[in-house]
Amino acid sequence: MKLFVDANVLVAVINKEYPLFTYAARILSLSERRNFELYTSPICLAMAFYFSEKKSGRKVARQKMDLLVEHISVATVDAEVVKQSLRQKNIDDFEDSMEYFAAKNAGCEMIITENPGDFHFGKLRVMRAEQFILSF
């Protein structure tokens, strides 16, 4: 199963933000299982780095990001993703739209996020980290 991991889940793990950390860390640990592939976008990685750097400093943030990208694939955000996002008139948040189309184009079946309402416009399943862990 291909899962797209949103920035808020990454930040919870990188900065050990409880109570979400417990479930978010388990989501990321799925990368070690053969039947799961985890994806995120360059945008999500940039946001995770920003919040990690604010909390832990640049050196530690880089170390955490190096470890993270060893276990998670990066979905492409290219001109086509931008164009798909711009064509959607029912989407208010351009960044969420780009994440959605990056996930969709990567073949992801689900988006894991703490803000499921941000993806109301799409057809991909969307779940919170805790909801996913408890149901799968």
pLDDT tens-place string over residues 7-40? 999 999 999 999 999 999 999 999 999 999 999 9
Predicted local distance difference test score (pLDDT) of residue 88: 86
Residue pLDDT, tens place only, 43-81: 999 999 999 999 999 999 999 999 999 999 999 999 999
Instruction: State the residue for tokens 């689900």.
Output: 110
User: What are the residues whose beta carbons fall under 8 Å from the beta carbon of 44, sequence distance 6 or more?
Assistant: 5, 6, 7, 10, 99
Q: What is the pTM of this model?
A: 0.95
Work out the percent of the chain whose per-residue pLDDT is above 70. Answer: 100
In the chain, how many domains are there? 1
Residue 41 has pLDDT above 90, yes or no: yes
The boundaries of the domain holding residue 95 are 2-135
Cβ(88)–Cβ(121) below 8 Å: yes
The CATH number linked to 26 is: 3.40.50.1010
Give the CA dihedral 12, 18, 21, 23, nearest 10 degrees. -130
CA 38/CA 53 separation, integer angstroms: 23
Question: What mean pLDDT do residues 102-122 have?
Answer: 96
Mean pLDDT of the chain: 96
Judge residue 72's burial from the number of C-beta atoms within 10 Å of its C-beta, 0-12 exposed, 13-18 middle, 19 or more buried.
Answer: buried
Predicted local distance difference test score (pLDDT) of residue 56: 96
